[in-house]
A and B are shown apart, each in its own frame.
Chain A
Amino acid sequence: MTKTELTKKTKQQLLALAKEHGLTGVSVLKKEQLINRLLEARPAEPFRKTPPQPAKKTEAIGSRVSPKRPGPGRPRKTPVGASITGDVQSPDSISLDKERIEELKFYRGPQPFEVREPMEIPAGYGDNRIVALVRDPWWLYAYWEITQTRYNEIAAAIRAKGDEVSHSLLRIYDITGITFDGGNANSFFDITLSGMANNWYIHVGQPNRSWVIEIGLLSTSGEFYCLARSNAVATPRFGPSDVVDEQWLSLDDDYWQLFGIAGGFGIGKTSLEMKELFEQRFQEEISSGAISSLFSPAMAQLKERGFWLVADCELIVYGATDPQAKVTVQGSPIALREDGTFTLRFALPDGRQNIPIDAVSPDEIETRNITFVVSRATTASNTVT
């Protein structure tokens, strides 16, 4: 079914269709949105649009009318390539409904800046890989991509041993001080993955250690099979090094004094307190994040104060005369438009204004005067009932 065909249907018919296709959360949508939603619906449906072809389209095709892609800026929560647990649920159908509605709440009309959709980026790259990144001394981040082929291969290997796949997991190895060969880690721990995940924040909890992460399958008999192994990363040290350079030896007291001054919290604290203070200091607005004003809306503050009313009053004085005439308003000369008309705008404060308008003819023989007297008085009250 094409977009044109769908457009001909009534909203009720569309809703029925949506229900047929198992779409939820659609009743709040406008007709146009509903159509897009249907067009975007997943393979089970007969009228699916052309499958997305990652980045094949050139931008010359600027006015593409394809439905809006799901939320820009949201991390893809769906597995790329294949879902590791073998769950065949299509990636962004149901799970994104709520998100989509959330988004519509904030929809403020068409994008002002560009009509063109952003370019498509690949949903996946057909790799079998997991990459680890360091977030801070206590947390790592990993993202991964596992192809269906790789998954099947390992699953088959498990079954060949008379075993079954239980679930997928991340295995995090502490490889501090060793060259990791897969079996010699200092220790490891596991995180059981839920079906949809293709990235994870991992609490390792230990600064100054080195880590490698494997994604793999656990069999029912408890055997671990690796699907992919990550790069090695190290969580940063948090706190002063224990290593002391003899050539640059300093007294412990001196070090902590300097530490306290550097952190801006003075001297005389214990080293433990210092570390805690330091951690707090990181959370204050003392750096780049504090001045995002170039990217901030100016009215951010107004919203905080609840109900409000502001009003002001201005005065517009306008008129026309011979285009060659000389005109003053309150004694100050003003510029006339080419056709001899003029408009002046004044912020009008409380009180009384005398506004004489004087015009002198081009031959300076005749004069005309019009004078306004305007007064403003403001009262204001706030009541709460």
Chain B
Amino acid sequence: MEHGYLAMVLHAHLPFVKHPEFEDFLEEDWLYEAITETYIPLIWVFEELLAEGVDFKVTMSLTPTLIAMLTDPLLQDRYIRHISRLIELAGKEVDRTRWQPEMNNLALMYFHRFVNARRTFVERYNKNLVTAFKDVQEAGKLEIITCCATHGFLPLMEIQRRASVRAQVRVGTELYRRHLHRDPKGIWLPECGYNPSDDEVLKEEGIRFFITDTHGILFGSPRPKYGVYAPCYCPSGVATFARDLESSKSVWSSKEGYPGDYHYREFYRDIGYDLEYDYVKPYINPDGTRINTGIKYHRITGKTPHKELYNPQRALEKAAEHAGNFMFNREQQVKHLHGIMGDRKPIILSPYDAELFGHWWFEGPDWLKFLMKKIHYDQDIIKMVTPSDYLRMHPKNQVLTPSFSSWGYKGYSEVWLEGSNDWVYRHLHKAVERMVESANRHPRADGIRRRILNQMARELLLAQSSDWAFIMKTGTFVDYAVRRTKDHVGRFTTLYESLHSGLLDERWLSEIEHKDRIFDFIDYRVYSTQPEGARA
């Protein structure tokens, strides 16, 4: 009989980046890289575990923007183009490295991986990877939770908070229903950003639980009896599960974490930078800037510029070893906690960015696979669950008000509210205010006015993505993030003014409906604060 539970939570998210107006667009590569390096490898892991009959449980959030991109025909076709180019490059690499057998094996490894990725994408899932995750959910091994429509950071939505949060949540859950054909039970709050009372909106939208960072519960009031090792109910009745830092640290930490092991693949050495320019030119940015291709031959080696060649076999052994270590530590942790908690079996919840696995930590998906297998075959102290499983087994939990918190650096809002990005909030707030006002003023708009109002809602949501503020802070691709913010705010403002003036270039409206085409089903009245509109 188990002593406690482990919930692995992977948060898969990318901002909505789609530029039909350009043949090639650098920032779209974020999606293509994540598909090849993270989403497909995770699908392979799930397929293998299912085929082998391993009783595993994983929780994943697929954000609405990610689902929208994964199901977008243009981006699907562009992914095929992208992966086909990679296959071509890997093929050339196989020829080129003929006289260096070790490197040649690595080139072959990439060649096969890419070919398999294309096969998985095209043949097995008919270009729609959401169905792949859906299958695993239907098989009862994966719980897919939803997220806010565009990953807006809720704690900073101070103006018209209710309507603002409601739109983010409702549009997100609606998109979930359309692609996963059921109601989401849980939500990943963007950046784990929780502001007391936001759970009331979650309640209204039918959400049963959300994830907070450790201090969300630990600093909650009244004092949590079980710390973060049991969920709590907010006064609204929505449950919250908090992150366990101990287990987080072993994967996340750049100092102590597994991904820093010297045998693992080095992320920063890529043939897009390493090889002769004319040779790689067809596979880098069309403007000639070198970028990552995804073909990387070296291992971390150590804190030196000199890097040894990667040895996949050795790296896999390490991944298995680290999975064993992670499991052992959780067993110890669970036994110890069970001792303290007495009548209650602890749940350890470990959330990670999904893109950490595979993209950043190349061996991450294998590590996860080994962990699932080991937990299934080798022990009976911990049992894998999803938050929903836990709530079914333990419906009685303490009630408290969680503390304002996020999982960002320093634990609060600072990542998204600092010198580089604080200028966005006056615009975002004004836009929400105008959106609410417009929705209230036009409770039953139709024709072009309805199109304008719906597009205003899309532009507002897109402007709210926490990713733009995040990128402005990190300092790369800043121009793009600024541009996206300005474009969405600018488009919103033009639309809003046209509502009043009655003057609008319809071709322009059609153009931005085409460019910012997401949430086809949106109903601007989600922003209404009048009873009639809000019900609609």
Contacts and interface: CB of A to CB of B under 8 A. Distances in A.
Contact of A240 (B99, B100, B219, B292): B219
Interface string A65-95: 0000000111110000000000000000000
Contact of A290 (B254, B414, B472): B254
Contacts of B400: 241, 245
Interface stretch (B25-33, B44-52, B365-373, B446-454): B25-33
Interface string A262-294: 111000000000000010011111111111111
B412 A314 contact: no
Nearest to A310: B274
Contact of B223 (A54, A76, A255, A301): A255
A344 interface: yes
A262 B470 CA distance: 27
A143 B158 CA distance: 12
Contacts of B478: 72-73
Q: Interface majority SS on A: helix, strand, loop or mixed?
A: loop
A227 B14 CA distance: 41
Contact of A72 (B158, B229, B482): B482
A74 B497 CA distance: 26
Interface stretch (A2-10, A21-29, A231-239, A362-370): A231-239
Contacts of A243: 221-223
Given A72-B479, A113-B25, A261-B337, A294 B427 contact: no
B429 A131 contact: yes
Which one of A76, A244, A248, A294 has the highest number of Cβ atoms from chain B below 10 Å of its Cβ? A294
Interface stretch (B69-77, B507-515, B523-531): B507-515
Interface residues of A, number: 97
A296 interface: yes
B interface, size bucket: 35 or more
B493 interface: yes
A300 B221 contact: no
Nearest to B486: A118
B312 to A, nearest CB: 19
Nearest to B227: A258
A219 interface: no
Interface in B470-517: 470-472, 474, 476-483, 486-487, 489-491, 493-494, 497, 505, 507-508, 511-512
B491 to A, nearest CB: 6
Contact of B414 (A135, A248, A305): A135
A384 interface: no
| Residue among B403, B426, B489 with most chain A CB within 10 A | B426
Interface in A163-196: none
Given A73-B479, A283-B410, A347-B97, A259 B227 contact: yes
Nearest to B256: A284
B403 A55 contact: no
Interface stretch (A30-38, A40-48, A119-127): A119-127
A314 B340 CA distance: 64
B221 A237 contact: yes
A121 B490 contact: yes
Contact of B246 (A141, A241, A254, A262): A262
Contacts of B214: 262-263
A97 interface: no
B172 interface: no
Interface stretch (B80-88, B129-137, B352-360): B352-360
Contact of B415 (A289, A296, A298): A289
Given A113-B26, A135-B414, A262-B244, 6 more contacts: A60-B508, A134-B404, A136-B412, A250-B225, A261-B229, A285-B253
